[in-house]
Amino acid sequence: MTMQVRQETGESSQTVADLPSVLYTRLRTAGLEHIAAKLDDGDRLELADGLQLFECSDLLAVGWLANREREKRHADRTYFNHNIRIEATNVCVASCLFCAFARLQPGDTGAYTLSLDQVWDKLRVRADQALTEVHVVNGLHPDLPFAYYLELLRGFKRIRPDVHLKCFTAVEIAFFADLYGRTDEQVLRELMAAGLDSLPGGGAEVFAERVRRKICHDKCGADRYLDIHRTAHRLGMRTNVTMLYGHIETHEERVDHMLRARALQDETAGFQAFIPLAFHPDNNQMRKLPAPTAAETLRVHAVARLMLDNVPHIKAFWIATGVETAQTALWFGVDDLDGTVQEEQIYHMAGARTPEALTTEDISGLIRVAGRDPIERDTLYNVVTQH
């Protein structure tokens, strides 16, 4: 076995013979020796390896392997961006059991739909901020015309032509296609012509049919979600992919989810980041379930880093994981913390107790305190500022 280990500098490497014996013994005792060897040899991890990583009792050994992969790619570099999150409407015809945000009908208590001016104002009032990204996620509204979404994008570009528009999940794209009588590709092309720059990763939940049938039966399925990302990549856009974990899914379904994302990435290389999303149980139809623990969160991010050898970034969405766990995850495979966010609602309505926004100084400070180097990036991972 040749176990190559890159040091934190990313410059030197060592074989298993050079590893401190205590570390080698620990990996062997954890039963992870052969997974370490596969990683060294550039062999891919498969379903059985992923299951073993989820079931291994030594979380630190799993984390150590994930951290080694993280440092090979990024050394200490840790990315975040200066973004704003906008949810223009929470009216949604889908009935996902985990969702605390959606309201079925326009007149229902708490239902809202912002006018275009109200949406644009969210950007206008931040004219003094060096924002680089607007991230839009909406409910599936049955009555808005397609022109609303096209105009929303055009208006953002009029106000801030420099800002990257990461808008509409694949689930929304599928909904638009069905509602407005277009193909998925036509919808993407029209939105791109109006200013769309990339797609966020929302709506993936868990790809396994068993899980989708139970928690999100009436929205776009896994194959269509992946096909929309495939099309977006072909049209030249980059996208992200998420996984909602910590509810009814099995370890096998988590690994299967990662492998399906990896297979598409082999085809297109269009995913920038994989983002595990921690389930929040307040105010939704799965409220009897406990939230995932910090240990589970660290493990999911670590296993994602190890399985998704072809996806450049593993992102911890600090709103979902909590700030402290996101910081710790920087030593469990994570190299990205999303962004300043501002005005997030989906998680806060589901019980998140994280702040609603962090400044770029807050984020770079918490990265530095965790022992990593903060880098403010734009959506496409170009460096904006090396803090």
- Residue 280 C-beta: closest distance to ligand V47, Å: 4
User: Following DSSP, what letter does each residue of 58-120 receive, concatenated?
Assistant: -HHHHHHHHHHHHHHHHTTEEEEE-EEEE--B-B-S---TT-SS-BSSTTSTT--B--HHHHH
Instruction: For residue 275, give both structure tokens.
Output: 């983002």
- Name the amino acid, one letter, at 234: R
| Residue closer to ligand V47, measured from CB, 64 or 318 | 318
- Residue 133 C-beta: closest distance to ligand V47, Å: 9
- Residue 83 C-beta: closest distance to ligand V47, Å: 9
Count of C-beta atoms within a 10 Å radius of residue 383: 11
| Chain center to CA of 264 | 16
358 binds ligand V47 (CB under 6 A): no
Indicate the SS3 state at residue 279.
Answer: coil
Helix 222-234 to helix 170-180 angle (10° resolution) is 90
| Residue closer to ligand V47, measured from CB, 54 or 80 | 80
176 binds ligand V47 (CB under 6 A): no
292 binds ligand V47 (CB under 6 A): no
Instruction: For residue 82, give both structure tokens.
Output: 């200066």
CB burial of 18-55 (b: ≥16 within 10 Å; e: otherwise) equals ebeeeebebbeebebeebbebbbeeeebeeebbbbbbe
| Residue closer to ligand V47, measured from CB, 245 or 332 | 245
Indicate the SS3 state at residue 200.
Answer: coil
| Separation between Cα atoms, residue 323 and residue 329, nearest integer Å | 10
| Separation between Cα atoms, residue 383 and residue 324, nearest integer Å | 25
| Separation between Cα atoms, residue 107 and residue 87, nearest integer Å | 17
- Name the amino acid, one letter, at 288: K
200 binds ligand V47 (CB under 6 A): yes
79 binds ligand V47 (CB under 6 A): no
| Residues 260-279 contacting ligand V47, CB under 6 A | 275, 277, 279
Q: Which residue, judged by CB position, is nearest to ligand V47 in the bound state?
A: 202
Which of 82, 141, 280, 348 touches ligand V47 by CB under 6 A?
A: 280
140 binds ligand V47 (CB under 6 A): no
| Residue closer to ligand V47, measured from CB, 45 or 171 | 171
> With contacts defined by CB under 6 A, how many residues of the chain interact with ligand V47?
22
92 binds ligand V47 (CB under 6 A): no
Which uninterrupted H or E stretch holds 244?
Answer: strand 238-245
Helix 170-180 to helix 146-159 angle (10° resolution) is 130
Which of 64, 271, 274, 317 touches ligand V47 by CB under 6 A?
A: 317
| Separation between Cα atoms, residue 228 and residue 234, nearest integer Å | 10
| Residue closer to ligand V47, measured from CB, 160 or 229 | 229
Which of 63, 155, 201, 276 touches ligand V47 by CB under 6 A?
A: 201
Instruction: For residue 17, give both structure tokens.
Output: 């013979």
- Residue 210 C-beta: closest distance to ligand V47, Å: 17
| Separation between Cα atoms, residue 284 and residue 182, nearest integer Å | 32
Strand 13-14 and strand 77-81: the pairing is: unpaired
CB of 220 closer than 8 Å to CB of 175: yes
| Separation between Cα atoms, residue 333 and residue 68, nearest integer Å | 8
100 binds ligand V47 (CB under 6 A): yes
- Residue 200 C-beta: closest distance to ligand V47, Å: 3
| Residue closer to ligand V47, measured from CB, 187 or 211 | 211
Which of 113, 138, 240, 328 touches ligand V47 by CB under 6 A?
A: 240
- Residue 76 C-beta: closest distance to ligand V47, Å: 22
Which of 92, 226, 346, 366 touches ligand V47 by CB under 6 A?
A: 346
- Residue 347 C-beta: closest distance to ligand V47, Å: 6
Contact stretch for ligand V47 (CB under 6 A) within 29-37, 42-50, 97-105, 111-119:
97-105
Chain residues in the site for ligand V47 (CB under 6 A): 98-100, 137, 200-203, 205, 240, 242, 244, 275, 277, 279-280, 284, 317, 320, 338, 346, 350
